[in-house]
Every structure is written in structure tokens, then in C-alpha cells.
Amino acid sequence: MKKRLFWIVPIVLIILLTPIIYKSVNSKEAGYKENRSLAKEDFKIFGSSVNSLSAWVVYWDLSSDKEIKALNNKLKNVSYFSANFDLNSKLVMPKELINYYSETKSFNYNKYITIVNDKAKGDGSYSLKDISLLKNLLGNETSRSRHIEDIVNLAVKYGFNGIEIDYEQIKNDMGLWNNYILFINELYQKAESKGLKLRVVLETNTPFDKLNFTKGPTYVLMCYNLHGSFSKPGGKADDKFIRSSIEKMRKVPGKKDFAIATGGFNWSSNGKTTSVTEEQANDILKKYKAKVQRDNDSKCLYFSYIDENNLKHEIWYADKMTLNSWMKVISEKGYDVSIWRLGGNLF
């Protein structure tokens, strides 16, 4: 009898435990498959629903060749950022950008020259997003025509395919807005006569309900700056913010494009906030051996650390998975995506 019990007990245990073991193995296998699926999506260079991408390259960070190669045939337009204004309000391009354009002129995408309302000051610094400059340039028909001529001549001189206007901080100055729309309409006509495309970049605080944009240019809305140096830590965007931004542009006619931002910000306990690229954030993460987490709303990565001066930092930034989630929101609405900016991304 004792011998029989010796064999019966293990058999009974095996019978009782088999469903539990099977369930556990099955659960691990399901989790493994799910993780593999997430990993595959994470390393995919943007979803198949995004057929046309535009991106900016900036004159102070032109290390974007690998990223351009990774984006491959999805990259249709590249904006060269940027031409600005000297002390005498003359339109100029940084030498670094001229050289980079010469090196990439044969690349297979449309090339735009971006014009911004930044003006050089006597001390070597710049007056950024200068409204007085815009009032002088756009204030009457004569000055607008002269400015349009300068822009078109610059684009033709270097052989760009198009022009991009990125004049910011107009806010609620309706007089300036009215002159700005006249300027855009007149520039579009002149550019089209020269075979040049036109993109117009707009901020989310643009008073769309009070303005009458006309069909012709591609209007690009910046769907970022939800958080930044002006706010508490957080992601540059989230799904809700992007959807509300798209809704703001409902009244604008013609082709519309929506821009998302790479990188992020580093908030310090001393009140200083600095921008970081994904690459820089990743280096800091490794250096301080911090624990990174992903935010459910923005899909951004974030982590905290204490530096050598005993200052606490909090970094929020975007990676491929973040950008994919934002692109999905835009592409599901039927629009194309622009990426601010190339350089410092781990595509």
C-alpha cells in the first residue's frame, strides 16, 4: 500500500498542476509575442499610413544624413532653415546652410528655403521673431513687392524648388495679419509664375476664426509647444492637443500639413529649461543610470536625475514610438506630416 501511495501522489499532483503550468507558459508566450510586436513597431521607421513626410534641417545642426537615409522614400520635402535678416533688413542665408545646400542639391526630394523674421543686432545677437521688421516689410504695397522680389530672387539664385514662410509672434495684431495675408497671396502668385511651390508655417495661436486664408499655398500648423520653457515638465504634444490643433485649421482652404516635434526639454530645479535632442537625452539617461518611463497621454519618455551640483532635473522627450503615435493621429485625418527637426534623432 505504501508503495502504491508513493506512485499515486506525484501523479495526482501532476494532474492538478498541469492546467496552472500550461496557463503560465501560455501567458509567458503571449507576453513574449506581444513584446515582440511592440518592439517591431518601435523600430519601424514610421507607419505605413504615412506616405509623405516633410522635415526641416537647421543650419546649426546639419548632422542629419543618417536620418535622411532612414526616412528614405517617405521624405518628399526638406526645408532648409533658415534665411533671416541682417542689420539693414536685407535677406541673407547662413554660410553653413549655403554649403550644406550645395552638398545636397542632387538629393531626391523637394527643397524649400525657409524665411524667418529674425533680425541681426549690432552686438552679434538676434532679435528673434521681430514684429517691427514685419511691419516695415509688409506695411504697404511697395515694401511688400520689394520683399517678395527679394525672396523669389533668393530661391531662384540657389535653385530651390520652393519657398517656406515662417513669420511668428503676430498674435492678435489684426492689422499686421491683414497685411500678412495680402503678402502671402501676392507671394504665391509671383512664386507660381517662377515655378516655385509655397509653404506657410502657422502657430496654434493664430486667430483662424478672424482670418480669410486663400487656397494656393500649403499651410503648415505647428502641433507642438504644449509644454516647454514656459511651463511645467511634460510632452511637446499629445493626441488631444494634436486633434484640437487640426480642428483649428478646419476653416483654412487647400492643402494642409501638420508638424510634430522631435527631441524635448530638460527642466532644472534652478528654474532653467533647455532643449535636448533624443540623442542628448539618451546620453544623460545612461550617464546618470536613471529609470526611464513612458507617459500614457503623450507617449513621450521621461526620467529624473540629480546632477553634480545637487540640482534635480526632469527630462521629457520623443522617440520613434512617440512620433509614430502622433503621426497616426494626423494621418488618420488624411493629412501629411512635417517633422521639426532632423539632427540628434535615433531613427
All structural domains of the chain: 49-262+319-340 (3.20.20.80)
CB of 236 within 8 A of CB of 318? yes
Strand spans (E) along 182-287: 197-202, 218-222, 256-261, 264-268, 273-276
Binned average pLDDT, 10 residues per bin, the chain of 347 residues: 43 44 38 35 59 95 94 95 97 98 96 98 95 98 98 98 98 98 98 98 97 98 97 98 98 97 98 98 98 98 98 98 97 96 95
DSSP assigned state of 20 = H
Q: Residue 48's pLDDT is what?
A: 61
Q: What's the alpha-carbon Rg for the chain, to the nearest Å?
A: 26
Long-range contacts of 291-294 (CB under 8 A, 24+ apart): 294/321
CB of 138 within 8 A of CB of 173? no
Q: Residue 154's pLDDT is what?
A: 98
Q: Bin 310: left if φ > 0, else alpha if -120 < ψ < 50, else beta.
A: left
Instruction: Please list, in sequence order, all residues whose beta carbon lies within 8 angstroms of the beta carbon of residue 246, skipping any fewer than 6 positions away.
Output: 221, 223, 258, 329, 330, 333, 335
